[in-house]
Chain A
Amino acid sequence: MDTHLVEEVAALTPGDYKSDVKPIWCPGCGDYSVLAAVTRALANMGLARHNTAVVSGIGCSSRIPAYTSCYGFHGVHGRSLAAASGLKLARPDLTVLVFGGDGDGFSIGGNHFLHACRRNVDMTYVVMDNQVYGMTKGQASPTTEADWCESKLTPEGPGVNPIQPVSLALACGANFVARGFSGDPNEVARLIVEGVRHPGFSVIHVLSPCVTFRPEQRGWKSTVHPYGRQPTDDPNEAMRAVLEDDGFGLGIFLAGNRRPFAPAGTAVKTIQQIEEGFAV
């Protein structure tokens, strides 16, 4: 992150980044911890609220912008990365964070995820993955196991293999890829800070249990484990290592060196000069 983005702010606390709006989330939802991690990360970085934009799509986790006291944009389902890319490209002075869930990001928004990774605009994408559509009351998402039979929509199970967000992000060229667990908000906050500070597109995959439709995910706290490797700046090495990942390894997989996509025009012509080009 460019140093000029950080303004001296009179020591804001995490609470200062929270709005007065009560989340719609169920008691015990992992997303509360992610919200806590976000406000902690923002306070740690001392980002000015008015220079920070929080963008999301649709879904439980996408409700997060209004729960912060920053500028927020709550768009349509699956298009958060497109809206955020436009915002950051047009306003490179802002710090842009994008939030959403596994359905929003990898199903309806899958194409934008692919292209956001390869475009590498300098922003940070936090995906709260609970392997289910919560807001529509429990349907399989692209990260749901093929044999999960608890949905009325797919009572025999979705029958297709889940995607692995971390390896997908690496394959598509994301410049910073990490995984966190909502049960450890301090670590998630650290990953968000690292992601924001790292130039280019940062993907932070956060395992965030849905206690209502996937109550078995309460057990994730004993399934997650440190990834056990040092972050690499080599995407190939990260990709090889991720092949051994069981989907629950936590930490930073890649902190790459790709240059962010930040085209900028320079005013070298006036409207009058351009107009002269039409003259007969």
Chain B
Amino acid sequence: MEDKMRRVFDEYRALSDEILKPDEPKKERFIQAFKKMLSREENWTFWLPLLTSLDLCVKCNTCAEACPFYVASGRKEIYHPVYRSDLLRRIYKKHFTLTGKIFGGLVGAKDVSEEDINALAESAYRCSVCRRCAYVCPIGVDNGLITRETRKILYELGIAPDEIYHKGTLYQKEYGNATKTPSEAFLNTLEFIKEDLEDEKGIEVEIPVDKVGADYLVINNAGDYYAFLDTIIGQVEVLNAAGLDWTYNTPIENGTNDVVNYGLFFSDKELTDIGRLHLEVVKKLKPKTVVVGECGHAYEALKFLYKDIYPEWRNVRVISVLELFDELIRTGKIKVDPEKNPMPVTYHDPCKLGRLGGLYDEPRRILNAVCKDFREMEPNRDMSVCCGGGGGFAIMHKDDFMTFRMETYGKIKANQIRETGAEIVALACSNCKGQFREIINWHKLDVEWKGIAELIANALVYE
């Protein structure tokens, strides 16, 4: 049995002892790394949001009610979003502001101990950066961003969860995907999909790979080919039914066939490195449009972030597979019959696709078209509550971290699902799928989850 790790903040641990090294001094390095984050040249990517978020909070408490983790924890003080931000803010004031140096604690400035740094590091992984707090803030302070910037500082010290760093971005850079899947195995999976569709549905499909100049280059989360294969099968069926000119890709040389970019969760350097792999693929395959599979954070990275990191990316048209599916249905390129999905279906708005991506109407148009009984989960759209899989959490499970995921965010979502009376939860994001898979088991919900592509494929009408 695994030994319990030393508690440094609360009863959970997101960072292993090997990575956090809780007994090793790191305060000075932390402050140096923080200084770098406060440099407009070194941290141009988020300098303005960081500075305004550190400087402008009026402590009005509006964010408290919006934070699912804080509310679900029973309002534990240490989980208050401002308490978490203040762990960093007090260092900022103490070391980097004149008022903090003069007035100290009166203005919230306070020096930190080594133990405080350990606590801060763990605390940065109790927030999924869903930015619901930022959405409601009357001033525009972004506690989620402060969490992410804290993670960036920790990354400078080599501290990041191994699931998203060592086994995430580093694998993706070395193997072309975070699942370490060689091209041959990937192609075998595609062969399996072809055979499955032929055997199960009697449908013959083509799965183009590495086609140059296709209308649509579809890139999925590589983990979907293992964990959520039904979504991929549905996607292949829909794309074929529509008769599109499309392609998947192998990692190609210096590229990736994995749409994830876990750098988004903890490091601009990793974000940039993975972005370069995506850019390489686009340069070689020259698609007219890049389609991001059912993956929320990847949509944010490819759609919104890369264009200001890589000028070449500004010429790349990026859409979510939801936008493509929505267009196929609306233009009649595929025919669907909602009677084929007669069970009540609800939808969870992934934070990265909804609040951070603006895709609210597309999934609803799709689900209303392909399901007989679509029901809204409350709250939804811009006020949707994070499932707890965001920010990298969906693949983090060491120590008691799963309890944290399930008994806080997960508990809220379980109740929301029950209230809908739905039998199916439609999900459009891999991290959400990973989280809901666990929520359904943990909270013994009598529902199943399905990817959007699965529901569309199930509703397809062939003429």
Q: Do A and B come from one complex?
A: no
